[in-house]
Structure 1
């Protein structure tokens, strides 16, 4: 009996020691890495790039890498590669990954374009790559040293100092057109950083890519020339649901998300829970005008950064300084002084002024 008691005591003591050791190890890891990793609060302010952010990416990349040739590709997260003929299959498809790496080599970039929140790379030979950056994905242009699973930023400086630029999941080695004077080619790279690993890439013939639901199911673009105020109002009159939800549905209007829907509704004085089909014609017209003004302003300021978004130069967008309601819970409304509130509208956060935006 004494031996049994002694054995039990030793086991319990050993278990307690193991628990204390494990806790010390975890504590050390947290203390060592807390400065280089996003905090829990920061993870709560991640926002999917919307129309202005994606348009910013496309414009900068067109200026920087149009005409370059992709010589090779390195992938850290193969699951983001999708088969163009079976795009809904979101599990690791080794055949799709092998085909992607094989087909991307030697492709010359003719240009980039935006369709909704998608970035489309058009290559010579009739091929196209669709990229959806999802929640935390963004492209970067610079130089990296890739060693197996480790990616070390070399230049520019913001790639090394900004933690949001450090979650590299893919690197495309570019063979730039020869310099007209020296005849030398550059050693630039196009990288894709994605903290949450939700981004996806689909490479295939242009006609196949343009038939994907990611494109075919989209409604008119929020900045499309043919989206007149009359057509905008006609679309919203078919939506018997909250105006906030209708604006954010890409099948209704493509490109609008949390930030710009909140800002536009505040400018017009419309409550986010009002039924879209209950708005008067003048409200539809005013909302159409203000939404497009805001989107164009945000593009000029290279998008909004309230968390992780960075442009291909690794820099944050400047439109965050122009916000009036988004993310300002508890602050005084600029128009009336009432405190800004936030509530869930169909599982999405809506920021509004309860005085200026009466339901």
Structure 2
């Protein structure tokens, strides 16, 4: 009994000792917490630094592609140009760049899409001259103002136009053509690729300045107009020089004048309109634009990579094959060109009397 009593006493003492023993404190993992905070801060700083260096953070880490909106269908030279520039930008920026064909309303829907995009350099417009420097004179109302809703980035290249006659017209010079047209007013017709195009407007303005009753005949493309001119159905065609070069060199047609300030490098033997005695200068072009209010540093970085692309030997060669004279201007230069050309085409559109269907 004595043994049992002593054993019970020892057990009670041990239980009290265990009950009074303090629970161990959990040591705070301050090192881990600070590591996590530094990681979060580094992510925030990465985004901030990317923004201050002119391109959105998403563009730099590749989470979202830069979109180049081309507002016409795929397959033509303008679409090929867009993809060529996108490839070079992809390499230059080390970021994904895609081309989106946003078609409809003669290119107006694509322009509107870029107008409504965020001004962060992630959405660009690659477009020929008409939707941004001519349409304001064609349509009574546009859902965009190219001068206030878009920010010029760079011009890519220019193209010019020519006036040509078929084998049934005796004229060898532009002056002779004007004299022939005045002597044969019922035959003074000219064909173009379509109504409401730059060749249509240019032909109308030339006719007005030359004192001709120049009647327009619209075709579905240059090829059909040239075929009829060679066959004698129409005497004159006005279209881009790239569509005239091969037939002129082959002796099937005669180009009498070209429209740029300098002679065309594709037709160096042909005088300009001004050299032929008519104060007329007209060029078309392709340019890149961003939404209005895009930060200047973003515009500068985009311009740099685009100009480098245009000046690359392989791109230059491709542009020449498209019938384009490579340029690669500054953003400020494109703004001046856009304003100048808008002023030029306004009276040309008026002279044509063209009214769009929609």
TM class by shorter-chain length?
under 0.3
Q: Which has the higher contact order (CA 8 A, sep 6+)?
A: 2
User: TM-score, length-normalised on structure 1?
Assistant: 0.26
More strand, by proportion = 1
More helix, by proportion = 2
